[in-house]
Chains A and B, each alone.
Chain A
Amino acid sequence: MRLSQIATGNLRRRKGRAAFLMLGFTMGIGTVVALYTLSTAIKEEIGHQLDQFGANIVIVPRANTLALNYGGISVPGVSFDVGQLKAADVERIKSIPYKNRLSVVAPKLIGVTSVEGRECLLVGVRFPEELSMKKWWNLVGRRPTGIDEVILGYEIASQLGVIDLQGPTMPAMGDDHRAHAATAVSKPGLLRSEIVIAGRKFGIAGILNETGGREDQMIFADLERVQEVMDKPDELSLVEVSALCKDCPIDDIVAQIQEQLPTAKVAALQQAVRARTQTVDRLNRFSVAIAVIVLVIGGLLIMSTLMASVIERTREIGVLRAVGFRKRHIVELLLIEVGLLSVVGGLLGWLAGTGASAIAVRHFTNSVTTVRPSLLLAGGCVAMALLLGMVACIFPARRAAALDPLEALRHI
């Protein structure tokens, strides 16, 4: 005969109450698990979405005097470079320990060049990277296919007479010109298909619809071709990096890149990072608040059930005290019972919560986020359920310990 045998015997005898208690644990822990799992999935989703807003790290050469402004970022001028960025640096960035977190690495060379008699900002990019990073770009036309094709910013396109901002420009679209005026250009509206940059002919693949930013005045061409045109082989003005950082080790990523490129200036775009951290923080706080409320309610429920159970068993506890159980033994007995229920309830809660969130995740996120059962989380559930049970036990246990052996002698 062991205390644990008395505990299990009692649980078997009072199946209804034991089931109710276990349900309390299961629902409490299950809700917390579901909240945690779902909010993690949503955080991941938000992270992915925020990552589509472009670069969050910018790398430029250090020690320059003349600066150009590129989309709000200071870019060193072309002629005073000291510690230059090279094409090979892109590979070094991609070799950092956190390389899996780097979603896009987009190198660029920026320079001023003459295009048909005008001074224009020419930006050499790798189109696949650039277009996947600048998800908000509204490209009219098609992606450049060869290295001799360019994309024109909205204003420069109009200055070069590729589109006509003043008048109706869509002959191919036909009839109602005013409806299609100015703000939306379409491929058939292009007035010309080629421009000459520094004496070379380039095909016009597409136009960027107005962004309101510096892009409107830029010409985007293939990086290698621009390096060639500007006679700066291998050289880069800056590298934009878009890092996926669900839990945002952005400072770590910056540090790792800095280590690879000691002569460069590596900076996190704090605003983007802060916006993301804030959103995720709010979500975190919200789910923690709900989890705490659920646990408190669950704990109170468990406590009142235990209290009722102790009162119901007054006589039984009196008998145990009369045959020589110490108060401590009575408390132990209760703790064993609650411990057993909480371990089982915690595991069931883990199962239920994981199952529920696996189903619910499809309604809350639109990506292919999936919920995978985590054994670590299962351990956490058991620990949390035990803690919850022990806390809920405090008052009932005191009450049980205070019961007098004389209870066994009262008639009725």
Chain B
Amino acid sequence: MPFLVVDSISKIYRPDGPASAVAVLRDVTVCIEEGEFVAVMGPSGSGKTTLLSVMGAMNRPTHGRLTVDGIEVYRLSDERLADFRREYVGFVFQQHHLLPFLTALENVSLPLAVERIGASEARARAKEALRRVQLDDKADRLPDQLSGGEQGRVAIARALVNNPPLLLADEPTGNLDSATGAEVMKLFAELNAQRQSIVMVTHNPENAVSANRIIRLRDGRIE
């Protein structure tokens, strides 16, 4: 069985009652093997972010099943879903979403704040994650003392700090110029070379070249 299975998933939003129903994902089925690097592409509004959030245990689908590592994810309660995210998923947001009042190291440590581990171990793990993104020398900087690319790398380090089997990224280079974007993509390629499974949404075909496979979405369906 593949590591991650999206099994005929539909997501229907009903912002103002049943009459306004919008089907954002329609019967989507995707399998992802361990160590794969998959790029998700498609026009704006096609459901890329929605698919990623369903894979990331953040968005209960209307129909269908998500299975990760043999776990049927959406059978879990809300609190257990949070635990699942912490254990299995690292998420990189387009705007990075670093907490501005915490240093790079503290931002990276965020997922560990609710783990039962000692302060020194948490620090060591956050340091190690920062080292993986080559930012260990800037651990004590606040986000606004870092460049856009460095902020992106801190966000990736935060996603990696729990060593999650699955790394999800929603347009991680969307906010960056092409040079720093390339820097971040190089990091993804390196991580994938270390057998990290990655699913990345991108608009940029150049970014997709490092991926093993491209999934194209249109109107909530796989093309």
Residues of A within 8 A of B (CB): 1-3, 5-6, 9-10, 12-13, 315-316, 319-329, 404-406, 408-409, 411
Query: Which residue, of B53, B119, B158, B162, has the highest number of chain A Cβ atoms within 10 A?
Result: B53
Q: Does B94 interact with chain A (Cβ within 8 Å)?
A: yes
**A324-B53 Cα distance, complex, nearest whole Å:** 13
Asked if A319 and B93 make an inter-chain contact with CB atoms under 8 angstroms apart, the answer reads yes
A4 to nearest B CB, angstroms?
9
With a cutoff of 8 Å between Cβ atoms, the chain B residues found around residue A321 in the complex are 58, 82
Asked if A5 and B86 make an inter-chain contact with CB atoms under 8 angstroms apart, the answer reads no
Taking CB atoms and an 8 Å cut-off, the chain B residues in 59-112 that contact chain A are 59, 78-79, 82-83, 85-87, 91, 93-94, 97, 99-102, 106, 109-112
**A409-B169 Cα distance, complex, nearest whole Å:** 11
B205 to nearest A CB, angstroms?
21
With a cutoff of 8 Å between Cβ atoms, the chain A residues found around residue B172 in the complex are none
With a cutoff of 8 Å between Cβ atoms, the chain A residues found around residue B102 in the complex are 5-6, 9
**A2-B116 Cα distance, complex, nearest whole Å:** 10
Task: Known contacts A323-B91, A327-B82; decide if A1 and B99 are in contact (CB<8 Å).
Answer: no
A248 to nearest B CB, angstroms?
55
The 6 closest A-B pairs by CB, nearest first: A324-B86, A1-B109, A13-B101, A9-B101, A405-B58, A326-B82
Asked if B58 and A409 make an inter-chain contact with CB atoms under 8 angstroms apart, the answer reads yes
Which chain B residue lies CB-closest to A328? B79
With a cutoff of 8 Å between Cβ atoms, the chain B residues found around residue A10 in the complex are 101
B69 to nearest A CB, angstroms?
16
B192 to nearest A CB, angstroms?
21
Q: Does B49 interact with chain A (Cβ within 8 Å)?
A: yes
B145 to nearest A CB, angstroms?
14
Task: Known contacts A322-B56, A323-B91, A406-B59; decide if A9 and B122 are in contact (CB<8 Å).
Answer: no
Main secondary structure of the interface of A (DSSP, over half): helix
6 A-B contact pairs sorted by A residue (CB < 8 Å): A3-B114, A6-B102, A319-B93, A322-B85, A327-B79, A328-B79
Asked if A2 and B59 make an inter-chain contact with CB atoms under 8 angstroms apart, the answer reads no
With a cutoff of 8 Å between Cβ atoms, the chain A residues found around residue B114 in the complex are 3, 324-326, 329
**A408-B96 Cα distance, complex, nearest whole Å:** 10
With a cutoff of 8 Å between Cβ atoms, the chain A residues found around residue B119 in the complex are 1-2
**A199-B99 Cα distance, complex, nearest whole Å:** 102
Asked if B126 and A1 make an inter-chain contact with CB atoms under 8 angstroms apart, the answer reads yes
Count of inter-chain pairs, beta carbons less than 8 A: 89
Task: Known contacts A406-B58, A409-B93; decide if A324 and B83 are in contact (CB<8 Å).
Answer: yes
Partner of A3, one of B113, B126, B170: B113
Which chain B residue lies CB-closest to A324? B86
**A325-B86 Cα distance, complex, nearest whole Å:** 8
Asked if B170 and A9 make an inter-chain contact with CB atoms under 8 angstroms apart, the answer reads no
Partner of A9, one of B52, B94, B99, B123: B99
Asked if B85 and A9 make an inter-chain contact with CB atoms under 8 angstroms apart, the answer reads no
Q: B136-162, CB under 8 A of A: which get 1 and which 0?
A: 000000000000000000000011001
Asked if B49 and A409 make an inter-chain contact with CB atoms under 8 angstroms apart, the answer reads yes
Report how many residues on chain B are interfacial, defined by Cβ distance under 8 Å. 36
Partner of A324, one of B97, B111, B170: B111
**A236-B78 Cα distance, complex, nearest whole Å:** 84
Partner of B110, one of A320, A404, A406: A320
A408 to nearest B CB, angstroms?
6
Which chain A residue lies CB-closest to B114? A329
**A108-B65 Cα distance, complex, nearest whole Å:** 98
**A10-B113 Cα distance, complex, nearest whole Å:** 15
Which chain B residue lies CB-closest to A3? B113
**A325-B91 Cα distance, complex, nearest whole Å:** 13
Partner of B82, one of A3, A13, A324: A324
**A10-B159 Cα distance, complex, nearest whole Å:** 21
With a cutoff of 8 Å between Cβ atoms, the chain B residues found around residue A12 in the complex are 101
**A44-B124 Cα distance, complex, nearest whole Å:** 62
Query: Which residue, of A325, A408, A409, has the highest number of chain B Cβ atoms within 10 A?
Result: A409
Asked if B83 and A1 make an inter-chain contact with CB atoms under 8 angstroms apart, the answer reads no
Asked if A326 and B79 make an inter-chain contact with CB atoms under 8 angstroms apart, the answer reads yes
**A324-B57 Cα distance, complex, nearest whole Å:** 10
Which chain A residue lies CB-closest to B108? A1
Which chain A residue lies CB-closest to B86? A324
With a cutoff of 8 Å between Cβ atoms, the chain A residues found around residue B122 in the complex are 1
Further 9 A-B residue pairs, CB within 8 A, beyond A2-B113, A408-B91: A1-B112, A3-B114, A6-B110, A323-B111, A325-B114, A326-B114, A404-B58, A405-B58, A405-B82
With a cutoff of 8 Å between Cβ atoms, the chain B residues found around residue A1 in the complex are 106, 109-110, 112-113, 119, 122-123, 126
A19 to nearest B CB, angstroms?
16
Partner of A322, one of B58, B79, B83: B58
B127 to nearest A CB, angstroms?
12
Which chain B residue lies CB-closest to A5? B106
Asked if B111 and A319 make an inter-chain contact with CB atoms under 8 angstroms apart, the answer reads no
With a cutoff of 8 Å between Cβ atoms, the chain A residues found around residue B126 in the complex are 1
With a cutoff of 8 Å between Cβ atoms, the chain A residues found around residue B100 in the complex are 13
**A353-B83 Cα distance, complex, nearest whole Å:** 46
**A322-B126 Cα distance, complex, nearest whole Å:** 18
B108 to nearest A CB, angstroms?
9
Asked if B86 and A323 make an inter-chain contact with CB atoms under 8 angstroms apart, the answer reads yes
With a cutoff of 8 Å between Cβ atoms, the chain B residues found around residue A405 in the complex are 53, 58, 82, 85
